[in-house]
Structure 1
Amino acid sequence: MTPDDRIAITDLINQHGHLTDSGDFDGLTELFTADVVYDVSALGGGTLVGLAAAREAALALGDANPVAHHVTNIVLRETADGVVQARSKGLGIMADGSAGSVTYADTVELTAAGWRITHRVVRPRRAPLRD
């Protein structure tokens, strides 16, 4: 993984909050493959397959969505086959001012369109000092 690859993947992960918070679901094609597996089962949302399913789930939540998604602590690890495993922390700020924390575990692959997330697992952080 080159330094340019690291920057591109980090930008990819950082861009998620901007697109999601603005409701730009069409823009998510710049981040995820069309057949992305988006696992939010730990949050009660099951495993969503495809961008259309992820979009519908977000729209179904409506005002229960966070008003702000913040991603930090991005760590990238390249596997032998050139796939990148990314871990990051997410903070969600709700309309009432409450906040929640999650860990994102992403599989990122180089496609013809550039680096894209092919698989994401979202795990809530509800207890300290535990993974």
Structure 2
Amino acid sequence: MARTATPQPTALTVHQATRVLEIGFDDGARFRIPFELLRVYSPSAEVQGHGPGQEVLQTGKREVGITAIEQVGHYAVQPSFSDGHDTGIFTWDYLYKLGAEQAALWQQYLDRLSEAGLERDAPMQGQAGGACGHHH
């Protein structure tokens, strides 16, 4: 049998107290992905923008929770975060990537923060009114 490209999850647990999503895959990999990382790298347009370079840098998400998580078909989950964000559809592929590359992704996030001169815990700017926050 040919191996399908995407490992399928065998277990998915939301740990509210420690704020990590624990996910096990059928290739034996197990990841504990912090909610903050999930939130910061949400695949939604609100975070990713509508093209390269339009990503909206997320801040102040250290304490973010996941209030609900819904399965989307057989390929993804859609978490609802405690800050009201719920438009990110996380495919198994994407969750696997977040888990496998989380150290590099954290570093990338911290680098982007320092480039932007932002604190990790700064409140989000320009959220009111429009989904696209343009800075003045």
TM-score where L is the length of structure 2 = 0.33
Larger CA Rg, structure 1 vs 2: 2
TM-score normalised over the length of structure 1? 0.34
Higher RCO (C-alpha 8 Å, min separation 6):
1
